[in-house]
Structure 1
Amino acid sequence: MNARQLQWLSIGLLLSLTALCLTWELWLAPLRPGGSWLVLKVLPLLLPLRGMLHGRRYTFQWTTLMIWLYFTEGVVRATSDRGLSAGLAAIETALALGLFISCAAYSRVSAPSRNSGATTH
């Protein structure tokens, strides 16, 4: 995949994870009926959106660090929750892992060439 494809894949995964977390905590399986304050966990997911839309490599790099919080939550809740919530947590885990991989790949393919200033003898 080229950098542009990886950029849009990452954006799609980020938006999917955001939508999942919103619907999960507000309607599908909230901790309390009517929704819970846990829905605020989507706010950090909005931080990298602008940088990703502009293709800023640094944003993709720090997103690979932040996304582990969502991966960890997904693993914990997939193994401790029951029913629909456990299934949603498994999806969260998969989306977080996919986002990590796509952001890491984007960071790699968008890196400046190391040989650009090298001279050959």
Structure 2
Amino acid sequence: MAEELALLGIEDEIADAPREADIDEDVYVIWADNLPIWQMFRRLQNKWNFVAMPDNELIMTGIPYPNIEGMLRTSQGVKKKDWPGIIADIEAMEDAALTGFNEAVVARRKEKQRERERQAAAARRQ
């Protein structure tokens, strides 16, 4: 196919580029500038606080600041003057994660409520 496209004047890089159908939706690209912050965020993955709800759902409440500070203190090569910017970046990623996780929890809780209502309605009809 690249040869046919070359006849049309289309460069090899464009001809060989993946098509939309070839792209795996679970693959994410992290820009090199963002990689250090992403790695720090990943180091905090087991430091999140959760609240257990009566229906056995967990609500994510965030990463406690002392955990972020502790991670920064043990990170080699991270200057203390850079902490405010790093913390702001981590908080931005935390906010996005909280939104995504808790939206999923709310959706599951609503579905459970609808199912209970369907069961109650079915029981009343009997």
- Which TM class, normalised by the smaller chain length? 0.3 to 0.5
Structure-1-length-normalised TM-score = 0.38
Greater radius of gyration (CA): 2
Greater helix proportion: 1
Relative contact order, CA 8 A, sep 6+: which one is greater?
A: 1
Structure-2-length-normalised TM-score = 0.37
